[in-house]
Amino acid sequence: MSTLKVSIIGASGYSGGELLRILLQHPQVHVHQVTSNRYAGLSVTQAHPNLRSITSLKFTKIEHLESCDFLFTSLPNGESMHQMSAWMQLAEKIIDLGADFRLNSQELWEKWYGTKHSAPHNMAQFTYGVPELFREQIQKSQYVSGPGCEAIVSILSLFPFVKQAIIQKDQIIIDAKMGSSQAGNRPSPASHHPERAGVTRSYKPTGHRHTAEIEQALGSFCPGTRVDVSATAIEMVRGILVTIHTSLENPIEDREIWNALRKEYSQEPFIRIVKEKRGLYRFPEPKILQGTNHCEIGFEKDGRNDRLVIIGAIDNLVKGTAGNATQCMNLMCGFPETQGLEFPGLHPV
């Protein structure tokens, strides 16, 4: 099979840089262009010093983008929709890492993002990029929208229990704690070191935008699923830990919960079920997932009532963004699904 000619729009950010790191090691990929208006003409190592001696690529401006086989767009929310129709003329297949095409209706987008969508005619062309749920659709798609990082770990953690009607679907509470890289590399008062260091800050107690895509994805298997997302910033650079509070439909034993997870995920290469009886890492923990495309899922049942706590962890820049996008690219192009994503993580970190 010939090498895939790939370009990345917005490659100077954290997600774009992580995608570049992964694709440079992918045996089926040749990275053709990487764009950044801010760094145009400079070596990619100016933004990503970890790639020193790995590549001699330089950033180009978006307007100098050339045709390619596969295009990734990694821009802030609300930007890719303005030029997507033009980019569709340059590349046969596209994955958008932003939020612009995650939702399936203009009305839903405008409700949750508070701005007008400029390309609603393109929305229906994008498949929502969670391979574990929508593998067959992704394989057949030209265009895929990468999920939000809080969304994908929450969706994967909840999916077996929603699909198999183990938990009550009308009230699911997701407490998401996330590292600073989730906000991107554009500085703001919230990312200023004196304000960010040592922080445990509730910055979105209700109404988080990823609520919409979680409900949309899970609703395709169980209509009417309702979730509330509470987001908290913690002193960690990369990683997300979600603690999901649910109520069981009926009394259930631990082995039945295990069986539900195994039924959906026993063949999934990037899902790890983690529930140990002893040790420091009895439950999922994002620290040991840094750099990996794995999602770890665990649970604890409260013996006093009908409460089931589901715990999920990922690296927000890999399974939450760039690694998951590479997994989708592999599916779209007929490559082995795990290709380029074999890194198992480090310990200690």
How far apart CA 118 and CA 247 sit, in angstroms, is 40
Is the peptide bond preceding residue 348 cis, with omega within 30 degrees of 0?
A: yes
Cα separation, 345 vs 289, whole angstroms: 6
3-state secondary structure (DSSP) of residue 71: strand
User: Running DSSP on this structure, what letter comes out for residue 318?
Assistant: I
Q: Single out the residue of 232, 239, 241, 235 nearest to residue 193, CA to CA.
A: 235
β-strand 172-178 against 227-234: which pairing, if any?
Answer: parallel
Query: Which residues partner with 248 through β-bridges?
Result: 167
Residue tagged active-site, from 68, 149, 295, 328: 149
> Is 149 designated active site?
yes
Tokens for 70, please give them. Answer: 């596969």
Give the helix/strand (H/E) hosting 326: helix 323-333
Distance CA(291)–CA(346), nearest Å, equals: 8
- Burial of 250: CB neighbours in 10 Å, binned 0-12, 13-18, 19+: exposed
Which residues are annotated as catalytic?
149
